[in-house]
Amino acid sequence: MKKVIGMFALLLLGSPLVAEESKDDPVLMKINGKNITRGEFEYAYNKNSDVEGGVEEKSVDEYVDMFVNYQLKVEAALEAQLDTLASFRKEYHTYRDMQLTPLLQDTMYIDSVARAMYDRTVARMNGADMIRPAHIFLRLPQNASEEMKNAKKAKIDSLYGLLKNGAVFADLAKTNSEDVGSAKEGGLLPWLGPNSTVKEFEDVAYSLKKGEMSAPFLSPVGYHIIYMADRKPFSPYEELRAGLFTVLKKRGIEEKAGEHAIQQMIARSGGRLTREAILDSVLNAGAEVDPDLKFLVKEYHDGLLLYEISKRTVWDVAAADTVGLEKYFKKHKKQYRWDGPRFKGFLYYTKREDLLEPVARLLGEITDASWEAAVDSAFNTDSVRNVKVFVPEYYKEGDNKYVDELVFKGDKVRRPVEYPYVNVVGEKMKRPKSYKDVRTSVLSDYQDQLEKEWVESLRRKYPVEINEDVLKTVNNHK
Question: How far is 305 from 88, CA to CA, in rounded Å?
Answer: 8
Question: How far is 88 from 353, CA to CA, in rounded Å?
Answer: 57
**DSSP reduced 3-state for 223:** strand
Q: Do 186 and 169 meet the contact criterion of CB atoms below 8 Å apart?
A: yes
The domain segmentation of the chain, as residue ranges, is 1-125+237-321+440-478, 128-232, 338-430
Beta bridge partners of 388: 349
**DSSP reduced 3-state for 206:** helix
Per-position pLDDT tens, the chain of length 478: 444 444 333 333 334 444 455 668 899 999 999 999 999 999 999 988 765 555 556 889 999 999 999 999 999 999 999 999 999 999 999 998 888 887 877 788 889 999 999 999 899 888 899 999 999 999 999 899 999 999 999 999 999 999 999 999 999 999 999 999 999 999 999 999 898 899 999 999 999 999 999 999 999 999 999 999 999 999 899 999 999 988 988 888 888 888 888 888 889 888 888 888 888 888 888 888 888 899 999 999 999 999 999 999 999 999 999 999 999 999 999 999 999 999 999 999 999 999 999 999 999 988 777 899 999 999 998 778 999 999 999 999 999 999 999 999 999 999 999 999 999 999 999 999 999 999 999 999 999 999 999 999 999 999 999 999 999 999 988 7
The DSSP letter of residue 368 is S
Architecture of domain 128-232: Roll (3.10)
389: enclosing H helix or E strand:
strand 387-389
Question: How far is 285 from 26, CA to CA, in rounded Å?
Answer: 19
**Residue 329 class from Cβ within 10 Å (0-12 exposed, 13-18 middle, 19+ buried)?**
buried
Q: Do 222 and 138 meet the contact criterion of CB atoms below 8 Å apart?
A: yes
Question: How far is 318 from 447, CA to CA, in rounded Å?
Answer: 6
463: enclosing H helix or E strand:
none
Amino acid at 342: R
Question: How far is 261 from 104, CA to CA, in rounded Å?
Answer: 7
Beta bridge partners of 31: 34, 464
Q: Provide the CA 70 distance to its chain's centre, in angstroms.
A: 25
**DSSP reduced 3-state for 306:** helix
The tally of CA atoms less than 13 A away on the side-chain side of residue 54 is: 12
Question: How far is 306 from 417, CA to CA, in rounded Å?
Answer: 53
Question: How far is 226 from 140, CA to CA, in rounded Å?
Answer: 17
**DSSP reduced 3-state for 407:** coil
Q: Do 12 and 267 meet the contact criterion of CB atoms below 8 Å apart?
A: no
Claim: this prediction has a pTM higher than 0.85: no
Question: How far is 312 from 237, CA to CA, in rounded Å?
Answer: 56
197: nearest Cα among 211, 213, 179: 179
